[in-house]
Chain A
Amino acid sequence: MAIKKFMYVNRKPPYGTVYALESLEVVLIGAAFDQDVSLAFIGDGVYQLTKGQNTEAIGQKNFSPVYSALGDYEVTKIYIEKESLEERGLTLDDLQHLVWEDEDEDYAEKDSIRLVSRAELADVMAEQEIILSF
């Protein structure tokens, strides 16, 4: 099967609507297809990755721990738009630390998150063949 560059663009925050959760479900299923996958978090999408989410009192499932498993699914390119974080008064310290293990380097732990400017992310987006927007 051909390998294509897939990008999942996440621009919506979690819980208020179902898009974030159902986008994550696509990413997990899509991982089985061995495509060249990138995730982009832009705008309110960056709120999907905040640390310390606790949904107990709103009666919804907390799906934020799933993001830390993405490395095991070989989803290792997670782009965060710098401007979006800054606009929201956030830094990378407010987000989960996502890592993957590099088999080729004796399972060395590497950062999955790539903090990039809008201009840099625009270049990455322009290289994609399939863009799934949520």
Chain B
Amino acid sequence: MSLLHTINKSPFESNTFDTCLGYALDGSTVLLIEDGVYAATTDTSAAEKIKNASSGVTFAVLGPDLQARGLEGKLADGIKVVDYEGFVNLVAENDSVQSWL
């Protein structure tokens, strides 16, 4: 069973990102959306944690949310950019979805 985790909160405002990392097992995907995209930007502790996370966990960010916030050029390495169609595909490819609200 593979799980898609979505995070919609800034890692600077809430510990949701850290909590989610504890739940992201190998084979799962973590998708950053809305204010969650700030975790995907360079020179942040969150991006560092993504870099050091298990290679079995896939990290993705919702491109439209990154663009909206003016941070497309600040995308950290190791994070896949998806659009809404890609979001839909991730939901379909995984067995279930946990939204870290």
Q: Which residues of A contact B (CB under 8 A)?
A: 9, 11, 42-43, 83, 118-119, 121-123, 125-131, 133-134
Contact = CB atoms under 8 A, between A and B. Distances in A.
Contacts, number: 43
26 contacts: A11-B100, A11-B101, A43-B15, A43-B16, A43-B19, A118-B19, A118-B22, A118-B23, A121-B23, A122-B22, A122-B25, A125-B23, A125-B98, A126-B1, A126-B2, A126-B3, A127-B1, A128-B3, A128-B96, A129-B95, A129-B96, A131-B96, A131-B97, A133-B98, A133-B99, A133-B100
A13 to B, nearest CB: 13
Contacts of B22: 83, 118-119, 122
A126 B97 CA distance: 9
A122 B23 CA distance: 5
B28 interface: yes
Interface in B59-98: 95-98
A46 to B, nearest CB: 12
